[in-house]
Amino acid sequence: MRKKTTRYGKTRAAGDCRAFRELASSAVDGEIHELEAYSLERHLRSCPCCREFRDFVLRTGLLVRQSPPPPLARRPVEGRVLARAAGGRDRSWWKSRRLLGVAAGSLAAGILLGSALGLRVGGEGVAAPAELPLPRVTAARTLDPSYVPYLSRPLAVAWDAGVIRPGTADEKRLFWVTPMSRYDEAHYRPERL
Amino acid sequence: MREPSADELRRAAAGDERMLDNLVRAYYGPVYNYLYRLVGDAGEAEDLAQEVFLRMARSVGGFGGRARFSTWLFQIARNAGIDHLRRREAERARLPAVLEPLRSSRDAVGEYEEAQLVWSCIGTLNEDLRSALLLRDLLGFSYREIAEILESTLATVKWRIYAAREQVQERYRAVTATEPGRAPGLPR
Ligand SMILES: [Zn+2]
């Protein structure tokens, strides 16, 4: 069996066998026409190399399906949290911020401040300035996952370690570097920390 | 994977908590599994899975049943996975999908070790090939559904799955051939 180099830089079976191996791959998935199946069967009877490939594909497919991922470390996101995201027009995040007295005195001022900071309210949410670095993590301890379930782990750890303090510039940066690149009350609930 | 009905999706879009919980129950596992195998880190996969479901909840109202729900959801998952891989690559220029062994016991030779070797071979595929293979072998999507998810053609999907398998076999052979008599193990 000849080999050739592809654009992926890997050697691959050349000529007829290549076509039959591609067919064998589709056949394993049940994605093959009857006529193709017939000619494939004929080829497989006389070609141990392609038979081996077919068997390998069957075997590895089985192994892949049977490998469980590691168990979840956290509870999946809850319906009540998603419900708020689904509502979309619920601005309770802003309301709770106002109640906490951390945000600007009025929603209008809040939006004004938001736009000054490059935030957009509604629609696509907050665009993340790419150049902002991650907050520096100086200590780590376990964070109750129900508190900030949507932050990436370094951020959650940074928050937990007190590196990111509520009501500071660090906190604003936090929004911009979350994996969501946007935020709402659903994945940022400072009042619970 | 059972597809939710149009009515169930309308309820989800309206913020019906029970319906959204049902969707999480039905799809969270497969989405997490796919993302874990795509990015190769369980914690990162969990972060991403949460993100995927939030994105789903935000946009399910505009979904409108153009495609199947599951292919639409995995489109979101795949995009989130790719964004993450790009971000990660930019952050620390390290290889994606360094797959960790699920347990460390050395005496369980055989099927487990073989599976680990296969996973480590899959981990070396480029993202295009890996995604196509995972959607097929891990999640059992049809070629047509995979084409929808990857926003690609049927022929491309067929080729990618084949090419992925060819490369996996090549790498598998390379390892097992250089270590004769040894049960295929993993770099630890
Ligand atoms: Zn052949």
CB distance A8 to B163 below 8 Å: yes
The per-residue pLDDT for range A111-123, each reduced to its tens digit, is: 343 444 333 333 3
- CA of residue B171 to ligand 1 center, whole Å: 19
CATH code, domain carrying B91: 1.10.1740.10
CB distance A88 to B58 below 8 Å: yes
State residue B175's pLDDT score: 87
What residue numbers bound the domain in which B116 lies? 99-188
CATH code, domain carrying B166: 1.10.10.10
Q: How many domains does chain B have?
A: 2
Cross-chain Cβ contact A150/B51 below 8 Å: yes
Portion 105-164 of B in contact with A at CB < 8 A: 111, 114-115, 118-119, 122, 126, 134, 136-138, 140, 142-143, 158-159, 161-163
State residue A120's pLDDT score: 33
* Cβ-count burial A91-101 (b if 16+ within 10 Å, e if not): bebbeebbeee
Cross-chain Cβ contact B12/A86 below 8 Å: yes
Distance to chain A for B42, nearest Cα, Å? 7
d(CA B188, CA B169): 21
B79 and B131 fall within a common domain: no
State residue A163's pLDDT score: 52
The per-residue pLDDT for range A65-96, each reduced to its tens digit, is: 888 888 899 899 999 889 988 875 443 433 34
d(CA A58, CA B158): 16
State residue B152's pLDDT score: 96
State residue A9's pLDDT score: 39
* Three-state DSSP state, B25: helix
- CA of residue A24 to ligand 1 center, whole Å: 10
Say what percent of chain A tops pLDDT 70: 37
Establish if B42 touches chain A: CB-CB under 8 angstroms: yes
B78 and B118 fall within a common domain: no
B105 and B86 fall within a common domain: no
Closest CA to A49 of B169, B68, B171: B169
State residue A161's pLDDT score: 52
CB distance A54 to A27 below 8 Å: yes
B186 and B104 fall within a common domain: yes
The answer to whether residue A176 scores a pLDDT higher than 60 is no
Q: Which residues contact A66 (CB under 8 A, 6 or more apart)?
A: B115
The answer to whether residue A140 scores a pLDDT higher than 90 is no
Distance to chain B for A68, nearest Cα, Å? 8
B4 and B44 fall within a common domain: yes
Give the amino acid at A24.
A
- CA of residue A6 to ligand 1 center, whole Å: 18
Closest CA to B38 of B91, B78, B89: B78
d(CA A184, CA A161): 22
B1 and B93 fall within a common domain: yes
B116 and B155 fall within a common domain: yes
State residue A88's pLDDT score: 52
- CA of residue A11 to ligand 1 center, whole Å: 15
The answer to whether residue A143 scores a pLDDT higher than 80 is no
pLDDT band at A58 (very low <50, low <70, confident <90, very high): very high
State residue B177's pLDDT score: 78
B105 and B133 fall within a common domain: yes
The answer to whether residue A45 scores a pLDDT higher than 60 is yes
ipTM of this complex: 0.81
Establish if B7 touches chain A: CB-CB under 8 angstroms: no
Average pLDDT over residues A172-176: 40
> Which candidate from B20, B32, B169 shows the least CB-CB separation from A56?
B169
B21 and B65 fall within a common domain: yes
B20 and B73 fall within a common domain: yes
State residue B176's pLDDT score: 85
Q: Can you give the residue ranges of every domain in chain A?
A: 14-65+135-184
State residue A31's pLDDT score: 93
> Which candidate from B12, B47, B143 shows the least CB-CB separation from A29?
B143
B122 and B91 fall within a common domain: no
Q: Can you give the pLDDT of all 188 residues of chain B as single tens digits?
A: 779 998 999 999 999 999 999 999 999 999 999 999 999 999 999 999 999 999 999 999 888 767 899 999 999 999 999 999 988 877 765 444 444 443 434 434 478 888 989 999 999 999 999 999 999 999 999 999 999 999 999 999 999 999 999 999 999 999 887 655 444 433 33
B110 and B70 fall within a common domain: no
The answer to whether residue A174 scores a pLDDT higher than 80 is no
> Closest chain B residue to A23 measured between Cα atoms?
B162
